[in-house]
Chain A
């Protein structure tokens, strides 16, 4: 899964946008950081 759904509230148009390499890396980093905060 490498895309996000972006909803433009001014038009109502929903667009599929590919995640950038930076966004993917940030997701992985956030997952590691979050795991230490709450175990659910």
Chain B
């Protein structure tokens, strides 16, 4: 098991909010990347997307399972311009004030010449019956090293003040394969 968890960069959204959070010039010196996100959106739409390397195009696909407090469901897509569920759930504007969703994004082997997979585990916080928790598996069909990660709330939402995102680098231990 990897025993390093090196913080690379962190950002906290200021009083003006922000449309996107983007990590650029990511060093290629780690094995895996992790992004930990605590976020709330101005939109009533409750997901957060990821775009790698500003690539756009149609190379993204995803699989999602989620619960909303009452029922479970799933969704999938392909040929997308971004990872629709890559950065997980984000607290919607309709949720309890001043609460934030928590998300872990794991990007293994981000410097490899293979397609890139992304695993996402997240939960929304809400003092009501409806609160989303979701797991997503996403794919970027591209062989390039990941050098930038952009997070964008769905529904043209913006990150509210005090939303945070931290990027970590993971280095596998010498005895791992």
Contacts and interface: CB of A to CB of B under 8 A. Distances in A.
Interface in A1-40: 1-12, 14, 16, 19, 26-28, 30-31, 33-35, 37-38, 40
A1 B19 contact: yes
Interface in B76-124: 77, 80-82, 84-85, 89, 92
B9 A37 contact: no
Nearest to A24: B19
B11 A4 contact: no
Contact of A37 (B23, B42, B75, B132): B75
Contacts of B11: 5, 7, 14
A9 B9 contact: yes
A37 to B, nearest CB: 5
A36 to B, nearest CB: 9
A19 B158 CA distance: 12
A4 B25 contact: no
A5 B25 CA distance: 14
Interface of B: 8-11, 13, 16-27, 42, 45-47, 49, 56, 64, 66, 68, 75, 77, 80-82, 84-85, 89, 92, 132, 150, 152, 154-156, 158, 167
Interface of A: 1-12, 14, 16, 19, 26-28, 30-31, 33-35, 37-38, 40
Given A40-B68, A40-B89, 13 more contacts: A1-B42, A3-B16, A4-B20, A26-B56, A27-B19, A30-B82, A31-B156, A33-B80, A34-B49, A37-B84, A38-B47, A40-B47, A40-B132
19 contacts: A4-B22, A5-B11, A6-B24, A7-B9, A7-B23, A10-B25, A10-B27, A11-B25, A14-B11, A27-B156, A31-B155, A33-B80, A34-B45, A38-B75, A38-B85, A40-B45, A40-B46, A40-B66, A40-B132
